[in-house]
Structures are given as structure tokens and as C-alpha cells.
Amino acid sequence: MKVAVVGATGLVGTKMLQVLEERAFPVTELIPVASERSVGKEVQFKGKGYKVVSAEDAITAKPNVAIFSAGGSTSLALAPKFAEAGITVIDNSSAWRMDPSKKLVVPEINADALTPEDKIIANPNCSTIQMVVAINPLHKKYKIKRIVVSTYQSVTGTGKKAVDQLFNERKGEQGEMAYKYQIDLNVIPQIDVFLDNGYTKEEMKMVNETKKIMRDDSIKVTATTVRIPVVGGHSESVNIEFENDFDLDEVRQILSNAPGVVLQDDIANAEYPMPMWAHDKDEVFVGRLRRDETQPNTLNMWIVSDNLRKGAATNAIQIAEYLQSQNML
């Protein structure tokens, strides 16, 4: 299968190449695409060097699928051109996620919504993906009424410049600033820009994308998203009020059997999810399960996952795997 990776030289694009290789996706020809200034550079895939090409040359090569992680404006400009050429696009930017004509997919939840007519498919935001993978099985059993989520997000979510800022600060060196403020030994309660309602775009992504993926507009979500000086993945404290009561042992059982979830919840041995354990793994790790004793039918949980993998690259490639399994590529 001919596979284009658009944004192949970025943090997520590089992770996409790694995951494609790890999961043995049947790539017969890789077509790495990046900005004009990167054309001609080489990327490594399965022990071979591949020259970065322009988007136009990639379209001419007619890949079966083009997996994008090149930012919203690039996706708005290029995804339709790939789709018009009959190439299926899986896009990791926010450009198409809330477009009513486009599917927003987490394979464990709503891959069944995909049809051969879907030529531009949206990959959800990383902080949304890990949350819905963990809570969807509980929603099906107990029906979620309201979610209060606070996130603790890795600098890798911003990109290489942010990782460099963190490690420069750690070494006491000057360098380019990805953030308005120092991030080392600090937390920044702003991810993306503020909207008129006082929430950030990142927070409203969690509110809106959750409803679309879980196909239930009745779910109330309120979010606070925070950047922290970590690289291994995003962490989330989630408080969920259900319509119906639950049994904690049954919740553990459901999560233990949930696709894509690993239960890490043994407080007697101080075992709970942490970014240093989740780093470079594909699962969503859940722990600190406990009843919220201040109100009925309400559960607290802690969710950690590598935002570059399940939060971006792996979820996108799982969508491609599903399409391939259904002969839709």
C-alpha cells in the first residue's frame, strides 16, 4: 500500500513513521511530505531513506492513504486536493474535527461510522482521545451525565520547540520560547488561545469532541487544560457523574476488559498511571478509581496516555488499519 505522511518531519509525523513500522502496516511505498524547505531531506523508514517530496508530487504518486499532521491551515489547503484525487486523508489537525460532514474517529468507539465515501477523516485531539477511550465503556453501562476534567499536558503536545524550551531551561540555557512563560518548575493554565467564554480552544475541544465521538450531545463536559513540564504523556483527573449508580468492582472489571485500556490501580503498592510509565506505549492507563463521596453516582479516575501515540499517531494509524480491514483503501 502506498502511504503518504504529510508533516513527516515533525514530532507527530516522526512518531507516525515509527508506529507504521512497529505495527507492520503494509506499506509498499512511503511518500514523506513536508514544507517546501524540507523537500529533498531524507527520513528513515524500515531501514531505508526516503526523500521528502512536495504535496503536489505526493498527489501525483497517488497513495492509497495520506496521514496528515501538518497543522490546520495546511490541512485546510491540501486535504481537499488529496481527497479530490481519490486519496483518503486521515488528518490529525483540528481543521475538520467539528465539520458536520466529516467523521471524528476513535476506532475503539465509532469506527463503524466510517464508509468508503469518507475521504477526509478527522483524528481527535490527544486530550480527548485518552479520555473517551477510558470513559466510553462506562457510559455504555451507566450513562454519563456530566464530566469535570482537569488535564496535565506534556510539552510534546506543543511540539519540538516546547521540548527544547523545557530542556534549555533545565540546563539554565537561553533559547527560543514556545510559551509566553518559563515552563520548567512551572505550570501554565493556558493551552491554545482564549475564547469569548473564558475557556481555551483546548478546553472547548474536549467539550465538543467528546459529544461527537460518543454520539451523545446530552453529555455535559467542563474542562481545565494545563501545560506542565513533562514529556511522557498527558495526565487527566476526571470526575464523572452517571445517570445510574455503579459498583466499583464492576467498574474495575469493565475497564480491565475495555479495548485500549490498561487498569493500573493498586494503591496498596503505590501503583497508578504516570507519564514516565506511559511514555512510548499505545494504551490508555487508568487508575485512582474511587467514589466521589460528596454526591451520588459519581466516580473519580486518573487517566494517562502518551499523547504522541494513542493521542495522535497510533489512533490515526488504527483508523487506517480499520479502513484497510474493511477494504476501504
Taking CB atoms, the residue at the shortest distance from ligand 2RA is 157
CA atoms of 258 and 238, how far apart (whole Å): 17
* Binding residues vs ligand 2RA (CB under 6 A): 125-127, 153, 157-158, 191, 202, 307
- C-alpha cell belonging to residue 226: 494545563
234 is catalytic: yes
Q: How far is the CB of 325 from ligand 2RA (least distance, A)?
A: 27
Q: Which of 234, 279, 309, 310 is catalytic?
A: 234
Q: How far is the CB of 158 from ligand 2RA (least distance, A)?
A: 5
The rounded distance, in Å, linking the Cα atoms of 41 and 15 is: 17
Q: Which of 202, 240, 195 is nearest to 223 (CA)?
A: 202
Phi-psi category of residue 49: left, alpha or beta, with phi > 0 → left and psi -120 to 50 → alpha: beta
Q: Which residues are annotated as a binding site for substrate?
A: 153, 227
Q: How far apart are the first and last CA of the chain?
A: 9
Query: Nearer Cβ to ligand 2RA, position 128 or 264?
Result: 128
Nearer to ligand 2RA by C-beta: 235 or 318? 235
Q: How far apart are CA 211 and CA 207, in angstroms?
A: 7
- In whole angstroms, the minimum distance from the beta carbon of 9 to ligand 2RA comes to 17
Return the DSSP state at 53.
Answer: B
Q: Which residues contact 280 (CB under 8 A, 6 or more apart)?
A: 232, 306, 309
Measured CA to CA, the distance from residue 55 to residue 78 in angstroms comes to 8
Rg value, the chain, Cα = 20
Task: Please say which residue, 307 or 315, places its beta carbon nearer to ligand 2RA.
Answer: 307
Least Cβ distance, residue 165 to ligand 2RA (angstroms): 13
Three-state secondary-structure class, residue 184: coil
Could you please report the per-residue DSSP string of 270-298? TB---HHHHTT--SEEEEEEEE-TTSTTE
CB of residue 274 to ligand 2RA, shortest distance in Å: 18
Given the complex with ligand 2RA, which of 183 and 263 has the nearer CB atom?
183
Of 6, 8, 20, which is closest to residue 82 (Cα–Cα)?
6
8, 20, 109, 126: the catalytic one is: 126
Would you list which residues are annotated within the binding site? 9-12, 37-38, 97, 153, 227, 307
Q: Looking at the chain, how many residues does it have? A: 329
Task: Determine whether 279 is an active site residue.
Answer: no
Binding-site residue set for phosphate: 97
Please identify, using beta-carbon distances, which residue of 74 and 307 lies nearer to ligand 2RA.
307
Give the active site residues.
126, 234
